[in-house]
Amino acid sequence: MRVRKVMLPSVPASRFVRTALISGALVCAALLFPNGGPFAHSHVAPYDTYGPTFEDLTLDVTFPGAYSRIEDVDFRNSILREFGDDGKQDRKAQLTNGSHEHREPGYYETDSLDEIHYLPARDSSSRCALVLYTHFFAAGSSGQEGIAQVFQLVGRRLTLKQQTEWDEHFGQPPYVLFDEKSKTLTFRSAHYLRGDADCCVSAMDVVTMRWDGTRFVKTSVRTELSDYGIREGKKL
C-alpha cells in the first residue's frame, strides 16, 4: 500500500499524513453516513498516484502479563504499540490515564485512547477487546491517524490479533463510529483525487467492517467528497 509520509526529526514517521485532533464525543451516525447506511454498495473512485490510505493487518503478538479476564487489562496505562505490514513494531508510546505527549525542538506528538469495547469471541468463553486510539503529530506539517486494535486472551496472555489504521487528514470529524448492536466498525480515511495537494484532500473512503467473532471483516468501501472537494466542485 502506498501512502504519503512526512519525515520527522529523530522520531519515527507516521505511515499516514493526518490533520486536526479528534475533539469531543462522536456525533450521530447520520453525519457519518450522509449518503446511505453502512452497508451501501461499494464504490471506490480512482486514487491519485497512491492509495488507499488505510490498512488492515492480521497479527499474533503476545504481550507480557497474565490475566483471568480481558476486562482486567489496564489499557489506559499500558504501552500502545503500532506494527507495520511486515509484522514488526513501528513505534510505541507509554500511555498514562489514556494519553501520551512528546515534545522536542521541531516536533510534537500525542496519543489518546478514545474508546474500549468488549466483543464476544466465537471459539472462547472469554471476550475480545476493541481499542480505538488517535495519533497526532506535527513537524512543519501535521498529521493524524486513527488506530483500531483487537486483543484476545490466549492462554491468559494478552494477544494482539488485528490492527486497522486510517488517515484522518481530511479534517472532517467524525472519523470513526462503532455500533454496539450490530458490532460494526465504520471509519473514514483520506482519499486523494487527481491534483490534490498534501494540505487539501478532496474525498474520503467510508469503510465498514463487521465483527465475525474472531476479527473485523470489511463489508463495504465507498468514496464520498469531503467538504473541501464539494467547495472546489470536484467530481468522483
**Whole-angstrom distance, CA of residue 81 vs CA of residue 184:** 24
pLDDT band at 98 (very low <50, low <70, confident <90, very high): very high
Task: Inform me whether the pLDDT recorded for 2 exceeds 90.
Answer: no
Please tell me the predicted confidence (pLDDT) of residue 3.
38
Mean pLDDT estimate for the chain: 85
Task: Inform me whether the pLDDT recorded for 111 exceeds 90.
Answer: yes
176-233 pLDDT, tens digit each? 999 999 999 999 999 999 999 888 999 999 999 999 999 999 999 999 999 999 999 9
pLDDT, mean of residues 57-61: 98
DSSP state letters, 44-60: -PPPSSS----EEEEEE
User: In what helix (H) or strand (E) does residue 207 lie, and over which residues does it extend?
Assistant: strand 203-211
Asked if 224 and 34 touch (Cβ cutoff 8 Å), the reply is: yes
Reference 111, options 143, 84, 85; nearest CA is 143
pLDDT band at 169 (very low <50, low <70, confident <90, very high): confident
* Integer angstrom CA distances of residue 58 from 40, 85, 225: 25, 9, 30
Task: Inform me whether the pLDDT recorded for 136 exceeds 80.
Answer: yes
The three cell numbers of residue 99 are: 494519553
Please tell me the predicted confidence (pLDDT) of residue 47.
93
Task: Inform me whether the pLDDT recorded for 13 exceeds 60.
Answer: no
Give the least confident one: 26-30, 32-36, 151-155: 26-30
Task: Inform me whether the pLDDT recorded for 157 exceeds 70.
Answer: yes
- Backbone phi and psi for residue 12, each to the nearest 5 degrees, phi listed first: -55, 140
Give residue for cell 476486562.
Answer: 71
Q: Regarding predicted confidence, which is higher, 55 or 41?
A: 55
